[in-house]
Amino acid sequence: MGNDDAKAAMADFPVLVEEPVYYCGFNSPKSFGGNSYLIRHPDGNWLIDSPKFIKPIVRRLEDLGGVDFIFLTHRDDVADARQFADHFKAKRIIDRRELDSQPDAEIILDRDDPTLIAGDFTAIPTLGHGQRVRLPSGTMKNQMAQLVDRM
């Protein structure tokens, strides 16, 4: 196994889970190794939590149409969200109770009931890490709910 094998493996990410959901890989120690996902959408692509900001994943995200929104589910899953937001001119979305992790986030959620946040995406409050967090839903609502159930 040589360097070429590692480069080839890196080029595989993000990996299609089930259209339109991709697993990003490149988990960051800044987010305790948490997973991140890309959801491709005709009204703009969504990054769910943040992988490491490194060239291979940035290039692949560019190839897939970029990132318009970054949905941050917990304060400990933000990793390099600010760098992705700056690079792609994406809007970060976070719950007010998690705001200390991204104080300059562009969209702040402040409700305990489902909230339409952009296009056909709705933030649905769910318990996580002992706090309320918000997960995206929309046209792929059932697929994403199943994916989140498996995480």
Query: Does 51 map to a domain?
Result: yes
Query: Does 128 map to a domain?
Result: no
Answer yes or no: is pLDDT of 39 > 50: yes
Query: Does 138 map to a domain?
Result: no
Mean pLDDT of the chain: 78
Which secondary-structure segment (H or E) carries 15?
strand 15-18
Query: Does 120 map to a domain?
Result: no
Query: Does 20 map to a domain?
Result: yes
> Count of domains in the chain?
1
- Reduced to 3 states (helix: H, G, I; strand: E, B; else coil), residue 50 is coil
Between helices 55-63 and 3-11, what is the axis angle to 10°? 40
Which secondary-structure segment (H or E) carries 28?
none
Alpha-carbon distance of 78 to 18, in angstroms, equals 24
The residue assigned the tokens 């589910």 is 73
Which residues are bridge partners to 101 per DSSP?
none
Average pLDDT over residues 89-100: 89
Query: Does 126 map to a domain?
Result: no
Query: Does 45 map to a domain?
Result: yes
pLDDT tens column, 52-92 = 898 989 999 999 999 999 998 877 667 889 999 999 999 99
Query: Does 36 map to a domain?
Result: yes
State pTM to two decimals: 0.78
CATH number, domain containing residue 35 = 3.60.15.10
Q: What is the CB neighbour count within 10 angstroms for residue 75?
A: 18
Residue 60 domain boundaries: 13-110
Which secondary-structure segment (H or E) carries 150?
helix 141-150
